[in-house]
Amino acid sequence: MMRLVAVAALAVLALAGCGKPPSPPAAVADVGWAYYGGDAGGQRFSPAAQITPANVDDLKTAWTWSSGELAAKGEAMDKASFEGTPIMVEGRLYICTPFNMVAALDPGTGKELWRFDPRIDPTVNYPNDVVCRGVAFWRDPQAPPEQPCAARIFTATNDRRLIALDAASGRLCPGFGAKGTVDVGAGVVLARNGGMQITSAPVIAGDVVVVGSSIDDNQRVDEVRGTVRAYDARDGRPLWSFAPLAQAGPDFRAGAANVWAPMSVDEARGLVVLPTSSASPDFYGSARKGDGRDANSVVALEARTGRRVWGFQTTHHDVWDYDVPAQPTLAEIDYGGRRTAAVLQPTKQGLLFTLDRQTGAPVIPVVERPVPQAGAPGEALSPTQPFPIAPKPRAPSDIAPKQAYGLTPWDRGACEKLIAGAQRGGLYTPPSLKGSLVYPFTGGGVNWGGLAFDPRRGVAIVNTSSALHKITLIPAAKVDAAQEADFEAEISPQTGAPYGMKREVVFSPLGLPCNPPPWGMLHAVDMKTGKVLWEIPLGTTRDLAPLSQFVVRGVGTPNFGGPIVTGGGLVFIGAAMDDYLRAFDIGTGKELWKGRLPAGGQATPMTYVWKGRQFVVIAAGGHSKSDTRRGDQLVAFALPG
């Protein structure tokens, strides 16, 4: 992943829309954005409609806010990703930074009202670098409205703390846990400091606060288990815990299966919906025979008790690091003419599963298809994997040597040899000692940005990436030597397994991806039929490889972050490996506008209306894995006047 910067070396420069004299917009009713995903179910939709395809080209920067971390953190910024999406509730914006500083801002001006710094240690080597995707708001219905901590901001930190802050002042809520803080990692024995962190926003169901965790990948068989924990929102008392591997059986030796991606809440049904990751270690599973119970699954729990209501597994016996990476989106769909309360779950494989929210059964049918079986010695692969019949996979998964990409016959020929020399067979080709192609790579397909759903049109908008990983298993006795010989490569021991692993993106000698473009796409799917309405390349290389824009066009870039949809008929998305926020017509996919950012916009934007004016806000801070331009700002766009 550290070389993902090279993937963007062939992307095009998108054309900005032509300007026209701006006209003052009419004032409209105020609209908030009270949750990380817009609503508790993560639809990332706002009814705000002041900005439309007719006037979006008039958008200008309205205000910016800086956390100051770019200067304050120094070299620690190299391991930071500003993935945060603010919330706007009760007249204030609330944002967390990669280092878990929380700030409250005036939504009209960006003026800082307060800040709280939990002072995490920036030198700790966290498995996913330092990340904070969002915070959660809760108002206690039993407390007098003006009482301190009647309204609270909950934030969870990289060093495993759950913190309650007074929404009005930013001060710790003394009645919660130990003077405002609960130690989520209490009693957890880690193999190394930083091996468990919390990167996604807590979710709240009634008066229950739920948090997941991110755990070391690929390090060992006997890893910490990925327990989800719930606490009383008033006093921080532990209420319940859920470990996805708890029912896997006594012969199932593994950890992880954690919930690092954002969760969703079905408030009407009292459910919290989890996206779980793979069991440890990622790329070899002889010690964890069987499908893995609730690993790699969408799981619904009763929010008050933690009781498992249902689960649906998207990958059986995962040896590809195909976590369920994105927030489950709760939406009402009309597939086949039948109205259903559904869960829409995109995956790293570029698949989109549509499940019944009450039972977990597929709404759009899922079939089990045979998959490659040439696993490493001792491996016991699942003979089949689940595939929804619609929509069709949104990321390519098979490649032949003759499909290799290159600017010249020389580098294309080198890619042909790299592809021909690896074990390949399409999606779910297992890791091997020879080296196997994992396609899509472990970054997606879809990643943590998830999808946006327009409930008025019944359309899902999702962005995908496309690249090749080569996964090579290394006999355990040779892992140390391999690390010494190639210290810049990603080589992990998978301690306790007979094999370690090496993961590398497949590039040409020129540093370009060997798989054919486009490498980043934006798609629109009609959830009434499961058909794709349109799809277009997403991203340019203006800020990463400027000269390449004159060589090739229409290739897109890998992307981190997701889209939002508005009542004005627009899709807003940053995510691509350049410094832009873009707007697209949801009906056609046409790019209508792009706004320049001071740093990489690898975050999901949000929108709200405040005092009659609609704003679109995105974090511009760059991303450690894609090495985009670093920064520490929030940028708000609005129509003039």
Q: Which domains does the chain have, with CATH numbers?
A: 4-18+35-638 (2.140.10.10)
Residue 30, CB half-sphere, CA atoms under 13 Å: how many?
A: 11
Closest C-alpha to 313, from 409, 222, 247: 247
pLDDT digits (tens, 9 = 90+) for 134-173: 999 999 999 999 999 999 999 999 999 999 999 999 999 9
DSSP state of 176: T
12 or 522, higher pLDDT:
522
What digits encode the pLDDT tens for the residues 278-310?
999 999 999 999 999 899 999 999 999 999 999
Question: Is 217 marked active-site?
Answer: no
151 and 138 Cβ atoms separated by less than 8 Å? yes
What's the CA angle centered on 574, arms 573 and 579, to 5 degrees?
150
Confidence of residue 626 (pLDDT cuts 50, 70, 90): confident
Distance, in Å, from the CA atom of 547 to the CA atom of 529, rounded to the nearest integer, reads 42
User: Could you give the CA distance from residue 283 to residue 293 in angstroms, rounded to a whole number?
Assistant: 17
Write down the pTM of the prediction: 0.94
Concatenated DSSP letters for 6-23? GGGGG---PPPPPP----
Confirm if 6 and 506 have CB atoms less than 8 A apart.
Answer: no
- Please report which confidence band the pLDDT of residue 26 belongs to, taking 50, 70 and 90 as the band edges: confident
Q: What is the mean pLDDT of residues 353-381?
A: 97
**How far apart, in whole angstroms, are the C-alpha atoms of residue 116 and residue 95?**
11
Read off the pLDDT band of 67 (50, 70, 90).
Answer: very high
pLDDT at position 128 = 81
Q: How far apart are the first and last CA of the chain?
A: 43
Please state the rounded mean pLDDT for residues 573-594: 97
Per-residue confidence (pLDDT) for residue 17, from 0 to 100:
35
- Please state the rounded mean pLDDT for residues 474-483: 97
- 555-582 mean pLDDT: 96
List the Cα angle 573/579/580 in 5-degree steps: 35
Provide the pLDDT confidence category of residue 625 given band limits of 50, 70 and 90.
confident
Cβ-contact 325, 288 below 8 angstroms: no
pLDDT at 23: 58
Strands 570-573 and 564-566, sheet pairing = antiparallel
CB within 8 Å of 244: residues ≥ 6 apart? 225, 226, 228, 257, 258, 259, 274, 276, 293, 294, 295, 297, 299
Q: Which of 321, 411, 578, 632 is catalytic?
A: 321
Chain centroid offset of residue 421 CA = 32
pLDDT digits 0-9 by tens, 183-241: 999 999 999 889 999 999 999 999 999 999 999 989 999 999 999 999 999 999 999 99
Return the bridge partners of 465, or none: 520
| Mean pLDDT of all residues belonging to the chain | 93
- What pLDDT sits at residue 262? 98
Show the tokens assigned to 141: 């219905």
- The pLDDT, as a whole number, for residue 249 is 78
Q: Quick one: which H or E segment has residue 72? A: helix 69-73
Contact between residue 43 and residue 571 where contact means Cβ atoms under 8 Å apart: no
Pick from 190-194, 259-263, 328-332, 585-589: least confident: 190-194
CA 103 → CA 39, 170, 318, 382, 606, distances in Å?
21, 8, 39, 47, 16
The CA distances from residue 601 to 246, 259, 302, 464, in Å, are 38, 24, 36, 16
Q: State the pLDDT confidence band at 10, using cuts at 50, 70 and 90.
A: very low
Confidence (pLDDT) at 621: 95
Q: Over the stretch 33-51, which tens digit does the pLDDT of each residue have?
A: 999 999 999 999 999 999 9
pLDDT at 21 over 80: no
With a cut of 50, say whether residue 2 has pLDDT above it.
no
DSSP 8-state symbol, 113: E
